[in-house]
Amino acid sequence: MLDFAIFAVTFVIVLVGAVLYLYPSSRRASGIPGLNPTDEKDGNLQDIVGRGSLHEFLVSLHQEFGPVASFWFGSRPVVSLGSLQQLRQHINPNHSTDSFETMLKSLLGYHSGGGGASTDSIIRKKVYQGAIDTTLKNNFPLVLKLVDELVGKWKSFPEDQHTPLCAHQLVLAMKTITQLALGESFSEDARVIAFRKNHDVIWSEIGKGYMDGSLEKSTSRKGHYEKALSEMESTLLSVVKERKSQRNKSVFVDSLIQSTLTERQVNHLVLIRLCVLIVCIWALHFLSTSEEVQDRLYKEFEEVLGSSPVSLEKIPQLRYCQQVLNETLRTAKLTPIAARLQEVEGKVDQHLIPKESLVIYALGVILQDSDTWNAPYRFDPDRFEEESVKKSFHLLGFSGSQTCPELRFAYTVATVLLSVLVRQLKLHRLKDTLMEVRSELVSTPRDETWITFSLRN
């Protein structure tokens, strides 16, 4: 009897040990190295929350498991690619689908009409791209005017006055975006302030509440979020009605209205595509740390523009300015994550990626990979003189035909800002002040950064 009891206990221990040993490996995404789910319902959600952001989680994931790694979103396996070499191998037949947009649609409660990926592709390439091109062409003088107003304000400051860069740039961003996207009625400060307030609430919850599930657990926060979303939707619907009766059809929403989109689809496109021009903030931050880069920009503006203001036709000739903005985007990791749905079985290295897997491109990891970029943490616009660097940037979707329309819009406004500012002022970062580079679903500086200006001789 004692022998049987010993055997039974031993058997149970061995069985439990076998289950504990075999269970984790069975939960990995088709054998791809990575994390086991820490929670049956949430997967590795708490691991992501513990790291502070999805980007920081992916950095640690790839440090531990290499360039191809897996983890779990709830009960769904996810494959993450963290190097340029592995990214090149990933063949995705659904390349035109914007998975970040798809996630936002689900979160915000919007749904496209039928047609799936092909419909999204048509909207992006024809309607959206055309709307942005038309808006910039028709409203370029307005962009110049808004930038001139801001730089004129900075010129009036005493040279030793400390200026909060983020606060000033976000005001410019909101004024530019709302007036170009929604019309002249947003020249009223009160309307812009109300719009920004709701916009900030919505995007804050998208960046945080989506990742840690905390929104659903807080009745007050959820109520605040839903109120902001309802007010934003109401504002956009009223703008659509206002613009339909306008004779002057020159802003972004006008082009969407004149297309075959429904009011609901117009609402959705305007809401999720309001790309706050964070690139301007980071560009000025990096410029404030390098007088040499400022002087080279000044020289280029003088050679290409002379005493004339910048124009849409002249922007492609400003090559060094383009390099500065590219390096800003790379160094600050302003787009740290992209995602694709694996519609057919794929393969990267020796790893099979099952059909319908979510594949994350860990762009924030790749953008600071020492195997791809020399001195990856250094702000160095000169690196973009090399053809190999240009090709790498193109492959990541930040240049060429795959560049998103919002990035082109942001680059245009940033170029106008730099062309006006650098020809009149020099930027200086205050000593012992640093801006922390942080990347999330929505990239924003964590802390304010302070700068001073001096007149350029």
Binding region for heme: 404
* 42 alpha-carbon distance from chain centroid: 25
Query: For 128-150, b where at least 16 C-beta lie within 10 A, e where not — what string?
Result: beebbebbbebbbebbbebbeeb
Sequence-separated (6 or more) residues with CB below 8 Å from residue 373: 330, 367, 383, 389, 392
Give the integer Cα–Cα distance in Å for 342 and 355.
5
Annotated binding site: 404
Asked whether the beta carbons of 285 and 174 are under 8 A apart, the reply is: no
Please report where in the chains the tokens 């998208």 appear, as a residue: 206
Other CB atoms within 10 A of residue 416 CB:
23
- Across the beta sheet with 76-81, what order do the strands follow? 68-73, 76-81, 358-361, 338-341
Long-range contacts of 51-54 (CB under 8 A, 24+ apart): 53/211, 53/438, 53/439, 53/440, 54/211, 54/336, 54/337, 54/440, 54/441
Closest by CA to 315, choosing from 133, 131, 148, 125, is: 133
Closest CA to 58 of 40, 34, 77: 34
How far is it, in rounded angstroms, from Cα 278 to Cα 444? 7
